[in-house]
Amino acid sequence: MTFQISVADTEFRFPCEANESVLDAAQRAGLEIPFSCRKGVCGTCKGRIVSGEARAFAGDALGAADRAEGNVLFCNARPRSDLVIAPRSISKANPFARKTTPARVFRLQRLAPDVMLVHLRFPAGIRVKFKAGQHLNLILENGERRDFSMANPPRESDGAQLHIRHVPGGAFTSPVFNGLKRGDILTAEIPFGDFSLRDSDKPILFVAGSTGFAPIASIIEDMTIRGIERDMTLYWGARQRSGLYSDLPGKWAQNPRFKYVPVLSDTPEAGFRHNLVHRAVLEDHHSLAGFQAYVCGVPVMTQAARDEFVAAGLPENEFFADAFVTRAEVAASGP
Ligand code: FES
């Protein structure tokens, strides 16, 4: 059975089968709703059902308060009637923008005990357009995919620099640390995602957990190249000092409008804030009413940041997040 989905306050309409997700149907129709894990874990695809009835395929990360407000995760919602929906954002996909290409391992560098820089180069003559903050898919031989954000700015369009954190036992990340070598050829599809800088004069709060630093580095480098001047503060958090593995923040600090707050959550150390990274933001600001926030890290952090920042006055439409979800977390979320 086919239902019609309309997007509130837009001209967008698309058909959706009773057994497919609203997210899949939107993509089939050439429309892009933000997503990351596609498994009901990260919350990126959250939006509201304005009218009609939808049902979840499986358990997901939504809480009771969200459900009471009519919110759903579009990757996990299938229609039971025609629907009017209100996603956080929706846009027409550009079918020519995304490319699948071989990518050669050009450089491997251990940035921290559990973080590897994997610098990929595309074949000669191939340039890939992406926005600072977006990610790519690496396609494995068995067809599975893994998402990684580019840490390089879009101007460096002949390759992609990825910060890959070792997930113990991870089917992809373990070989990266133990077997991948210079010259190996991978397959990448690029770009994905809508985590990118929005036009505004508001001061920016960048909040990165561990390798959530990568897309934020791409955005800040891109702002520098393009001469975009805004007040910005980077809160970068890790459990231990080795997790803050880049000296780029020191370079960016030459800009008087850039401020850096390194945060450690395990052991206190002189020169580092001791807290959860998003809580360090709240320590410094009584109200977030005048800010934009860009937050990248594990879902539990991005979700807590969203809830607590909005409670501190941040307008919900000024909060942008990219949640990193490991395969283990997806598997733990159920079928
Ligand atoms: Fe739907 Fe992650 S994409 S919850």
Which domain CATH number covers 309? 3.40.50.80
Whether residue 165 sits in one domain with residue 265: no
Do the strands 115-121 and 159-165 form a parallel or antiparallel pair, or are they unpaired?
A: antiparallel
How far apart, in whole angstroms, are the C-alpha atoms of residue 333 and residue 254? 43
Whether residue 217 sits in one domain with residue 291: yes
73 lines ligand 1 (CB under 6 A): yes
- Number of residues that make up the chain: 335
326 lines ligand 1 (CB under 6 A): no
Whether residue 72 sits in one domain with residue 11: yes
pLDDT at 330: 58
33 lines ligand 1 (CB under 6 A): no
Instruction: Judge whether 289 and 314 are in contact, CB under 8 Å.
Output: yes
Instruction: Judge whether 105 and 187 are in contact, CB under 8 Å.
Output: no
Q: Indicate the pLDDT class of residue 167, thresholds 50, 70 and 90.
A: confident
Instruction: Judge whether 71 and 62 are in contact, CB under 8 Å.
Output: yes
State the closest ligand 1 atom to the C-alpha of 41, by its place in the atom list counted from 1.
4
Instruction: Judge whether 10 and 90 are in contact, CB under 8 Å.
Output: yes
3-state class (DSSP) for residue 284 = helix
Pocket test for ligand 1, best of 33, 35, 78, 300 (most atoms within 8 A of CB): 35
**Has residue 332 got a pLDDT over 60?**
no
Task: Name the pTM for this structure.
Answer: 0.83
How far apart, in whole angstroms, are the C-alpha atoms of residue 298 and residue 211? 9
Q: Is position 334 within any domain?
A: no
Pocket test for ligand 1, best of 33, 44, 62, 88 (most atoms within 8 A of CB): 44
State the closest ligand 1 atom to the C-alpha of 42, by its place in the atom list counted from 1.
2
pLDDT at 324: 82
pLDDT at 95: 61
Q: Is position 198 within any domain?
A: no
Q: Indicate the pLDDT class of residue 335, thresholds 50, 70 and 90.
A: very low
Q: Is position 74 within any domain?
A: yes
Q: Is position 199 within any domain?
A: no
How far apart, in whole angstroms, are the C-alpha atoms of residue 76 and residue 58? 7
Q: Indicate the residue among 128, 163, 192 that finishes a domain.
A: 192
Instruction: Judge whether 62 and 69 are in contact, CB under 8 Å.
Output: no
Helix, strand, coil in percent for the chain, rounding step 5? 25, 35, 45
CATH for 16: 3.10.20.30
The reply to whether omega before 87 is within 30° of 0 (cis) is no
Whether residue 262 sits in one domain with residue 181: no
Q: Is position 169 within any domain?
A: yes
3-state class (DSSP) for residue 311 = helix
62 lines ligand 1 (CB under 6 A): no
What DSSP element (H or E) covers 175?
helix 173-178
pLDDT at 63: 83
Whether residue 247 sits in one domain with residue 171: no
Q: What is the CA(330)–ligand 1 centre distance, in A?
A: 10
| Ranges 66-75, 124-133, 170-179: which has the least confidence | 170-179
45 lines ligand 1 (CB under 6 A): yes
41 lines ligand 1 (CB under 6 A): yes
Q: What is the CA(277)–ligand 1 centre distance, in A?
A: 23
pLDDT at 310: 95
Mean pLDDT on 302-326: 91
Averaged confidence pLDDT in the chain: 91
CATH for 183: 2.40.30.10
What pLDDT digit, counting tens, does each position of 51-76 carry?
999 998 877 778 888 889 999 999 99
pLDDT at 329: 60
The candidate with the shortest Cα–Cα distance to 6, out of 36, 32, 26, 24, is 26
Q: Write the CB contacts of 300 (distance below 8 Å, at least 6 apart in sequence).
A: none
The protein residue with its alpha carbon nearest to ligand 1, atom 4, reads 40
pLDDT at 123: 93
What pLDDT digit, counting tens, does each position of 218-269 carry?
999 999 999 999 999 999 999 999 999 999 999 999 999 999 999 999 989 9
pLDDT at 126: 84
Whether residue 110 sits in one domain with residue 54: no
Q: Is position 40 within any domain?
A: yes
Whether residue 208 sits in one domain with residue 325: yes
Mean pLDDT on 90-105: 85
Long-range contacts for 195-198 (Cβ within 8 Å, ≥24 apart)? 195/133, 195/134, 195/135, 195/149, 195/294, 195/296, 195/320, 195/321, 195/322, 196/131, 196/132, 196/133, 196/134, 197/132, 197/133, 197/222, 197/223, 197/228, 197/294, 198/292, 198/320
Residue 187, domain extent: 99-192
Whether residue 318 sits in one domain with residue 248: yes
Q: Indicate the pLDDT class of residue 93, thresholds 50, 70 and 90.
A: confident
Q: Enumerate helices (H) and strands (E) in the chain, giving the number of each.
A: 8, 21
Whether residue 210 sits in one domain with residue 172: no
How far apart, in whole angstroms, are the C-alpha atoms of residue 91 and residue 88? 11
**Has residue 200 got a pLDDT over 70?**
yes
Q: Is position 41 within any domain?
A: yes
Q: What is the CA(313)–ligand 1 centre distance, in A?
A: 25
Who wins on pLDDT, 249 or 193? 249
Pocket test for ligand 1, best of 21, 33, 37, 88 (most atoms within 8 A of CB): 37
Q: Indicate the residue among 59, 92, 125 that finishes a domain.
A: 92
Whether residue 104 sits in one domain with residue 68: no
pLDDT at 42: 81
pLDDT at 274: 97
Whether residue 48 sits in one domain with residue 16: yes
Q: Is position 37 within any domain?
A: yes
Mean pLDDT on 169-196: 88
The candidate with the shortest Cα–Cα distance to 264, out of 229, 285, 237, is 237
Percent of the chain with pLDDT over 90: 72
Instruction: Judge whether 145 and 137 are in contact, CB under 8 Å.
Output: yes
Percent of the chain with pLDDT over 70: 96
Q: Indicate the pLDDT class of residue 90, thresholds 50, 70 and 90.
A: very high
Q: Indicate the residue among 30, 60, 92 that finishes a domain.
A: 92
Who wins on pLDDT, 41 or 51? 51
Q: How many domains does the chain have?
A: 3
Whether residue 139 sits in one domain with residue 62: no
The candidate with the shortest Cα–Cα distance to 22, out of 102, 92, 107, 82, is 82
State the closest ligand 1 atom to the C-alpha of 60, by its place in the atom list counted from 1.
4
